[in-house]
Amino acid sequence: MLSERSGIMHLAQERPAVELEGVIKAYPGFRLGPVSFKLEPGYVTAVVGPNGSGKSTLFRLMMNLARPDGGEVRVLGGYYPGGDYPGSEVEIKQKIGYVPERAVGHDDWTARELGRFYARWYPRWNGPLYRELLERFEIPHGRRFKRLSKGLQRRLSFALARSCEPELMLLDEPTDGVDPFARRAMVDEISAFMQSGERTVLFATHVMEEVSRLADYVVLLSAGEFLGFYEKDALLEEWRAFWVESPPDRAVPGVVSVEEAGPVRIVTRSPEETRAALEEARIELFRSEALQLEEILELLLRERRGAGSRV
């Protein structure tokens, strides 16, 4: 996905879609950050982390629904906080399709009414697409939001955000509670949305398959700590598992874990160095395999938080 779109992006827009610099947010008993990363237009980034790691807080900071205690949040050229907007905050928000963790103020509205309301606020509102998404996601037009199941509420929130034809989609667990069929349809729609290289998506998820399918980059959080901003393909290339005849009797560079139940499996994040060291120690390497993204992220979490962390 990265290579397909990378040529277009810098021609279309020069500024990052989102820029966070040293962003900190503190609540009693919880502190997020400092978080720093840039989202360049044309890419999809996944926010991954265990429950309570600060993913929703990060989205609220980007929507100016929470104010940072330190650092700077810049979204589509607008600065939060401080009121230093090149355009008005409304103008910036009109270019953002946001799916919050919990939709506020939608409860008594039907999909039809919400569509009409959004059409008034979003200049690029795409009515035909909205109607098509309601059909595709099998969302009843006339039932109040609060009477919809959780999965249908998520689908409707996504359809609303998508139909704004935004520059930037901020999707806080859009597929949470959504069945696998609709989830696939949503992932397909995000891919379709990205076909124009000027657009940017940031989405939070616990589903690794979605990260594998959609994301160019991954933001990893754990208990408020920002563990990194990773290029997905680089992670997949960097980490490997080697199967060897016997465990090494000395420290081997790059090795992150050694499993000795049955054949010895060594995970390394520096394959060439590890391979050379194994050869030198005359340990036969009889199989080498790529790691799944889920295992890599889990190992990164474990490295920082101690064993037992789960994505």
Ligand X SMILES: Nc1ncnc2c1ncn2[C@@H]1O[C@H](COP(=O)(O)OP(=O)(O)OP(=O)(O)O)[C@@H](O)[C@H]1O
In the list 7, 10, 11, 52, the residue contacting ligand X (rule: CB under 6 A) is 52
With binding defined as CB under 6 A, does residue 100 bind ligand X?
A: no
Query: What angle do helix axes 150-163 and 180-193 make, rounded to 10 degrees?
Result: 10
With binding defined as CB under 6 A, does residue 154 bind ligand X?
A: no
With binding defined as CB under 6 A, does residue 13 bind ligand X?
A: no
With binding defined as CB under 6 A, does residue 54 bind ligand X?
A: yes
With binding defined as CB under 6 A, does residue 57 bind ligand X?
A: yes
In the list 33, 49, 68, 197, the residue contacting ligand X (rule: CB under 6 A) is 49
Handedness of CA 275, 278, 284, 288 (dihedral sign): negative
Give the range of 50-58, 189-197, 236-244, 279-287 binding ligand X by CB under 6 A: 50-58
Do the beta carbons of residue 270 and residue 302 sit within 8 Å? no
Measured CA to CA, the distance from residue 49 to residue 46 in angstroms comes to 10
With binding defined as CB under 6 A, does residue 55 bind ligand X?
A: yes
Identify which of residues 144 and 305 has a Cβ nearer to ligand X in the complex. Answer: 305
Identify which of residues 172 and 189 has a Cβ nearer to ligand X in the complex. Answer: 172
Burial 87-125 (b: 16+ CB within 10 A, else e): eeeeebbbbbbbbbbebeebeebbbeebbeebeeebeeb
Minimum CB–partner distance for residue 188 and ligand X (Å): 24
Identify which of residues 56 and 94 has a Cβ nearer to ligand X in the complex. Answer: 56
With binding defined as CB under 6 A, does residue 56 bind ligand X?
A: yes
What is each CA distance from 163 to 60, 117, 127, 279, in whole angstroms? 21, 12, 7, 57
* CA–centroid distance for 46 within its chain: 2
With binding defined as CB under 6 A, does residue 310 bind ligand X?
A: no
Identify which of residues 56 and 163 has a Cβ nearer to ligand X in the complex. Answer: 56
- In the three-class reduction of DSSP (H, G, I as helix; E, B as strand; rest coil), residue 291 is classed as coil
Burial 184-208 (b: 16+ CB within 10 A, else e): ebbbebbeebbeebbbbbbbbbbbb
Measured CA to CA, the distance from residue 92 to residue 72 in angstroms comes to 16
What does residue 234 show for φ and ψ, rounded to 5 degrees? Answer: -65, -40
**Which amino acid would we find at residue 234?**
A
Give the range of 11-19, 49-57, 126-134, 240-248 binding ligand X by CB under 6 A: 49-57
With binding defined as CB under 6 A, does residue 222 bind ligand X?
A: no
Of 175, 136, 125, give the one whose Cα is nearest residue 153.
Answer: 175
With binding defined as CB under 6 A, does residue 27 bind ligand X?
A: yes
Identify which of residues 53 and 64 has a Cβ nearer to ligand X in the complex. Answer: 53
With binding defined as CB under 6 A, does residue 30 bind ligand X?
A: yes
With binding defined as CB under 6 A, does residue 205 bind ligand X?
A: no
Minimum CB–partner distance for residue 82 and ligand X (Å): 21
Contacting positions for ligand X (CB under 6 A): 27, 30, 49, 51-57
